[in-house]
Amino acid sequence: MKLFKPFAPFLIAWLLLLCSDSFAGISLVNGLLQLTLFLFVVCIPTWRTGRMSYVDIGWPWGLVLLGVLTFIYSNGHWLRSGIVSAAYIFAGARMGLGALKMWKMGYLKTEFPRYEYQKIRWKKAGKTNIPLAMQIEAIVQGLANASFLAFPAFIIAANPNPEISIFEIIGLLVWLGAFLMESVADMQKLAFLKAMKKAGEKNKVCNVGLWRYSRHPNYFAEWMVWNGLVIAAIPSWIALYSVESTLVWGLLAIGLLFASRVMYTTLVYYTGAVPSEYYSVQKRPEYKDYQKTTNIFFPGRPKI
């Protein structure tokens, strides 16, 4: 029963999609392909090397797969389907190509800190079979692509209405604004690191630009990217009322909201802010002061 617990919410969400009249076919294909992708790209390399960093390759390319399948199987309006498919493909390919570059340069020969932190968590929780825990973790990541993270794409692409809703416009603007914010945060961090290297300074805290208002503006922006998709899915979800049973229709709304919840939990506690700061505090002497003055996730005015 304990082995099943990590899979439960994702399997339930996938089962909901499989039981719906609108998404049964694409959900079955997507789920099987996601698990196949993770088997060869993540599970087998993890088993052979003892490192989970291969998740950073499998997960984004799973998003690309999601976008491609959404476009192929979509029976909604072509423009709406094309935009949401492109959003998934673009976001996934951007991260996926970066992960492949890191793999080619040899960075995956050592475990990424966020996955080392997960192993620390498991040991504290009394888990002794770490290889099994890593395999469970990898499969859960694949199931996330098969379930909650597929909700916005499938729902949006199922809407045949040629009229564009205000919610879709707002959602697209949120997506674009959040992507721009994430890109700016990444560029500011890179510029800061280059400046510190040039000045001969080591282990300094980046607190410039967006990093002055949030300790992880890139993670916050990534979360808002998904919130933009959830907002854009609202009118398409409403349109499903005439197609799905009331129970399935209501549960689809819960699943859609959980896409935001899953990403928030991941980006703050799971593989994002908290694991990152565990090592930052040890490595950067000034980081504790930074924590006292700057919000961990949501941007806000620096505290005095």
Tens digits of residue pLDDT in 253-271: 999 999 999 999 999 999 8
Q: How confident is the model at residue 1 (pLDDT cuts 50, 70, 90)?
A: low
Long-range pairs of 275-282 with CB within 8 A, sequence gap ≥ 24: 275/113, 275/114, 275/117, 275/118, 276/113, 276/114, 276/216, 277/215, 278/113, 278/117, 278/120, 279/113, 279/117, 280/205
Return the pLDDT at 193.
93
Q: Please compute the mean of the pLDDT values over residues 139-168 and round it to a whole number.
A: 96
- pLDDT band of 231, cuts 50, 70, 90: very high
Non-local (6+) Cβ contacts of 260 within 8 A are 223, 226, 227, 230
How far is Cα 70 from Cα 86, in angstroms, rounded to an integer?
10
Quick one: pLDDT at residue 125? 86
pLDDT band at 29 (very low <50, low <70, confident <90, very high): very high
pLDDT at 15 (0 to 100): 96
Count the alpha carbons within 13 Å of 109 in the hemisphere toward its beta carbon. Answer: 4
pLDDT higher than 90, residue 126: no
Q: pLDDT, tens digit, for every residue of 181-218?
A: 999 999 999 999 999 999 998 889 999 999 999 999 99
Asked whether the beta carbons of 67 and 86 are under 8 A apart, the reply is yes
In angstroms, the Cα distances linking 121 to 117, 125, 135, 203, 263 are 6, 6, 15, 25, 19
244 pLDDT more than 70? yes
- Whether 2 has a pLDDT exceeding 70, the answer reads no
Over the stretch 57-67, which tens digit does the pLDDT of each residue have?
A: 999 999 999 99
Q: Give yes or no for residue 3 having a pLDDT over 80.
A: no
Question: Could you tell me which residues come within 8 angstroms of residue 49 by beta carbon, excluding any fewer than 6 positions away?
Answer: none
pTM > 0.75: yes or no:
yes
What does the chain come to in residues?
304
Amino acid in the structure at residue 210? L
Report which of residues 59 and 127 the model is more confident about.
Answer: 59
- pLDDT at residue 304 in the model: 76
Distance CA 188, CA 199 (A): 16
Rounded to whole angstroms, the Cα distance separating 127 from 120 reads 10
Write out the two tokens for 148.
Answer: 């909650």
More confident residue, 289 or 128: 289
